[in-house]
Amino acid sequence: MSAPTARYLSLGAGVQSSTVLLLAAQGRIPTFDAAVFADTGWEPDAVYRHLDRLATIADRAGIPLVRVSAGNIRADALDPAHRFASMPLFTLGPAGERGMARRQCTGEYKIKPIKAEVRRRLGYPHPRRVPAGVVAEMAIGISVDEIHRARDADVAYMRNTFPLLNLGWRRGDCIAYLAEHGLGATPRSACVGCPYHTDAEWARLRSDSPTQWADAVAFDHAIRHGSARANAAGQPLRGQFFVHRQRIPLDEVRLRPRPADAHTPGCGPWTCPHPEVEPHAQPAVSGSPMREVA
C-alpha cells in the first residue's frame, strides 16, 4: 500500500468531525494538511458560527480550514437555468401516491466539491488522471456507535480513515470532549430545509430561528410543483413536492417532536444516515431518476 501524499479531514462540522479536528489541533492524533468543509450555502446560522470557531482553533494549530462549494442548494433548486440536483423531497402523486425523490444533493454539493479539492491539492485537477500511487488520506468522523457507516473510498486516490474508531470513541465521548473544550454547543449540520429533519428539528428551527423557518416554509411553497428548471423546460412535476413527510405545506404541519429524535445525526458528506432512496418509499411519479415526469 503506498504511503499517503497528504492527509485531509472531511469536516462536516457536526459533533464527530469537530471532535476529530480538535483532537488533531491538540496533537492527540496526527495533524491534517487541511480540513475541508463543503458548504451547500443553506446551513443554519449556528453552523456557520460554529465553523468560524473551528477555523480559529484550526488556524492556531496550523491546519487550514478550507470551504468548498458547488453552489447554493436552495437558490439552484429555484433557478430555471440550473440543473436540479434532487433533494430527498417527499412526493405526492396525482392519485395520492406517496414517495420520495432520489437524493442527489449530498453527492453534488458535498462529495463532488471535496473530491475536486483533493484532486486540485494533489496536483491532478479533473480531468487529469491521478497516477497510481498518489493517494490522500481522508479522515472521516464516524464514532463507534455509527461503525456501520464506515466505508472505503470509491476512488483510488483517496483512502478513508476513521480516527474515532481507532480511539474507540462513541458519540457521547465526543460530546463530553467538545464540552470540556468550550464546544458544547456544537450544532447539527444539515441544510435549513432538509426533508430529513425530524419534527424535533423542525420545531427547534421554528422556535430558535424564525427567519430560517420562514425561509424553509417559502422554499417548501416554491418547490411544490417541481424544480424551476423542469418547469422552465415544460416538464412540470406530475404530482407535488413537500419538505415534510406529512406531505402538507410545512407551515400547516402540526409538529410532534419526540425526545428520541432530539440528537439525530446531521448530513456529513460520507456519513448521511439515510440511503439514497428510502427503502419504504414508493415512487409517486415514475420515469426519470428524479421522478419528475411530464
Contact positions toward ligand SF4, by CB under 6 A?
40, 73, 87-88, 103, 105-106, 109, 190-191, 194, 196, 267, 272
DSSP symbol at 111: I
The distance between the two most distant Cα atoms of the chain, rounded to a whole number of Å, is 59
- Give Cα 153 distance to the centre of its chain: 17
CA 79 from chain centre, in angstroms, equals 21
Q: Which is nearer to ligand SF4, 88 or 283 (CB)?
A: 88
- Residue whose entry in the numeric block shows the C-alpha cell 417527499: 90
Nearest Cα residue to 291 out of 9, 97, 126, 115: 97
Question: Please, which residue, 113 or 163, has the CB nearer to ligand SF4?
Answer: 113
- Closest approach of Cβ 260 to ligand SF4, in Å? 20
Q: Find the shortest distance in angstroms from Cβ 227 to ligand SF4.
A: 13
Q: Say if residues 269 and 9 touch (Cβ distance below 8 Å).
A: no
Q: In whole angstroms, give the CA distance from residue 184 to residue 266.
A: 16
Closest separation in Å from C-beta 17 to ligand SF4? 14
Tell me the closest approach of the beta carbon of residue 77 to ligand SF4, in angstroms: 9
* Nine-digit cell string for 147: 461503525
User: Which CB, 7 or 188, lies closer to ligand SF4?
Assistant: 188
Provide the minimum distance between the beta carbon of 107 and ligand SF4 in the complex, in angstroms, as a whole number: 9
Identify whether the C-beta of residue 35 lies closer than 8 Å to the C-beta of residue 12. Answer: no
Query: Which residue do the cell numbers 419528475 mark?
Result: 292
User: Nearer to ligand SF4 by C-beta: 138 or 267?
Assistant: 267
Q: Is the Cβ of residue 122 or residue 194 nearer to ligand SF4 in the bound state?
A: 194
